Amino acid sequence: MKKIINLICEAKEDGLRVDIFINKREKLLSRTKIKNLILNGKLKLNDKIIYTPSKKVTNRDNIRLEIQETKKAYLEPYNFKLNIVFEDEDLIVINKPAGIIMHPGAGNYDKTIVNALMYYCGKNLSSIGDKYRPGIVHRIDKDTSGLVVVAKNNFCHENLSTQFNRHTIKRNYELLIWGKLRPRIGKINTLITRSKKNRQLMEVSLIKGKKAITNYKTIEVFENNKTPTLSLVECRLETGRTHQIRAHMSYKGNFILGDKKYKKKFKKIKNIDPELNKALNKLDRQFLHAKTLGFVHPRTRANLEFNSFLPNDLENILKLLRNTVK
């Protein structure tokens, strides 16, 4: 549900930054909230969309701010068949399909992995942290498939969180990118922060952000006159920042195939194999799969490692590419 705030600047407010002007009038809205709304194109100044929070207002200016009122998230069980790779009294390892989000949040209030877990195991989930994220120790993106571990109790949750914080968890991803990485094997060590232009994206920064380390190696390169240049890559994470692999590949100029947020337009190949072209256009997710997950079991102290095959839609693209380059 949308809420519209209409304001008119008075003479005494002439020269104020628009974000400060709105904050003074609407005290329940924080400067950060107002700034994010402006950056996302929700502000009109005299019927023109403005993306600059520092824009100055003048007497008699008309300001229109659109706010999407958040629907309250609540947890209801969701009858969804989970692909369970491993389970005991302490934890569950799930092979998550693409297209389902991990937990309720802004814009996604039900039909999440958390809702499915509630249906499957009721209240046998850890209660540490956000009440809308029981059992959730770590996350992968909605349109990323692969392995995640869920804690059934607080003891397990705390122990696994410590392993994640110490970067001792083994996490390998498989992805298909545009172009070729140079060098073919390497390490990307940068700071990652939210994009100034789009708060839903992450970007590499030289001066601020959280440390992010991605080790990568090129497994296979597909390149001829019937296919665009694509590379199959494996990434091993040392840190687990939001959109880390997607942001790092964007930084290298090698965007992940099918990534609608970190996308780049590539020229069409005239002689591209028709079946391959159809499969590439049909892909409705990013070609990114959490392939390997390894950790020490919190209670037994056993070293556990799990592996997951590529889903059929991704494997089919690889088969078509391999047939094309024969």
Assign residue 57 the CATH number of its domain. 3.10.290.10
Same structural domain for residues 63 and 75? no
Same structural domain for residues 188 and 303? yes
- The position carrying tokens 């297209």 is 99
Same structural domain for residues 261 and 294? yes
Mean pLDDT of the chain: 92
pTM (2 d.p.): 0.79
Same structural domain for residues 262 and 300? yes
Q: Parallel, antiparallel, or unpaired for β 202-205 and 227-237?
A: unpaired
Assign residue 218 the CATH number of its domain. 3.30.2350.10
Condensed to tens digits (0 to 9), the pLDDT of residues 65-93 reads 998 766 555 678 999 999 999 999 999 99
The last residue of a domain, from among 139, 166, 193: 166
141 is catalytic: yes
Same structural domain for residues 230 and 90? no
Same structural domain for residues 104 and 152? yes
CA 259 to each of CA 29, 196, 245: distance values in angstroms, whole numbers, following the listed order? 33, 20, 11
Share of the chain above pLDDT 70, in %: 95
Same structural domain for residues 189 and 307? yes
Condensed to tens digits (0 to 9), the pLDDT of residues 98-145 reads 999 999 876 677 899 999 999 999 889 999 877 889 999 999 999 999
Same structural domain for residues 142 and 198? no
Same structural domain for residues 233 and 84? no
Number of domains in the chain: 3
Q: Which residues pair with 160 in a beta bridge?
A: none
Distance of alpha carbon 253 from alpha carbon 180, whole angstroms? 9
The last residue of a domain, from among 26, 48, 68: 68
Would you state the pLDDT for residue 107? Answer: 60
Condensed to tens digits (0 to 9), the pLDDT of residues 157-185 reads 999 999 999 999 999 999 999 999 999 99
* Set 141, 143, 259, 273: catalytic member: 141
The last residue of a domain, from among 166, 192, 226: 166
What range does the domain containing 52 cover?
2-68
Same structural domain for residues 140 and 253? no
* SS3 letters across 211-222: EEEEEEEEEEEE
